[in-house]
Structure 1
Amino acid sequence: MLNETVISKGYQTVVPAKIRKNYKIMPGDILEWIETEKGILVQVRKRRTLKDIIGLVKAEGDAVESKKSIQMGFK
């Protein structure tokens, strides 16, 4: 599958619609440009939302006490 884009004078380009739809690329997602021995690999990194982050942090006990113990080097 060949998809081509043109680089503008401002060094910008457009991700082809078919690629955007197939990989669910949305505004705010990040394209990582990785140099390899064979050329350039472009990889999508999805932007995390607050909804994605909820539940990643465990709340244990009192927040003030946790902060104090972290500042004192414990934990």
Structure 2
Amino acid sequence: MSEATRITEKGQATIPKSLRERYGLEPGDEVLWVETESGILVKKRTKTDARGMLLPDDASESERDAVAAELRDSLRERRERNYDEV
């Protein structure tokens, strides 16, 4: 399936209604524009789309584990401070 739309002078593009309905896109939703070898991929942004943004794609599993542990510890410390303040 393919549908065509125009890009406005402001760089805006309309997502066809049939695609908005099929993929559950509603006003206020965000979409990601991903450059691929074959063109541009547009996908609905989800809560997990930010995963992997802290490290390059070629980061090793141990590097990913270290960053995850650091973030986990940082969040734990922040929660403990917040509880202490209350």
Q: Could you tell me which residue of structure 1 aligns to residue 31 of structure 2? A: 31
Equivalent pairs, count: 53
**Corresponding residue SS for 1:24:** coil
TM-score (norm 1): 0.60
What's 1:66 paired with?
A: 80
Q: Contact conserved, 1:29 with 1:45, CA < 8 A, in 2?
A: yes
1:3-24 per-residue CA deviation (whole Å, 9 max, x = no partner) reads 1110011111111000011111
Contact 1:29 1:46 survives alignment (8 Å): no
Once residues 35 and 5 of structure 1 are traced to their aligned partners in structure 2, the CA distance between those partners, rounded to angstroms, is 19
CA 1:68/1:11 → structure 2, altered by over 3 Å: closer, same or farther? Answer: closer
Structure with higher strand content = 1
The percent of aligned pairs where both chains have the same amino acid is 37
| Paired letter, 1:66 | E
Q: Residue type of the partner of 1:10?
A: K
What is the TM-score of this pair, normalised by structure 2? 0.53
Runs of 4+ in 1 over 2 A off after TM superposition: none
RMSD over equivalenced CA pairs, Å: 2.5
More helix by share: 2
User: Structure 1 residues 66 and 24 mapped into 2: Cα distance closer, same or farther (>3 Å)?
Assistant: same
Q: How does 1:15-54 map to 2 (within 5 A)?
A: 15-46=15-46
Match of 1:13 in 2: 13
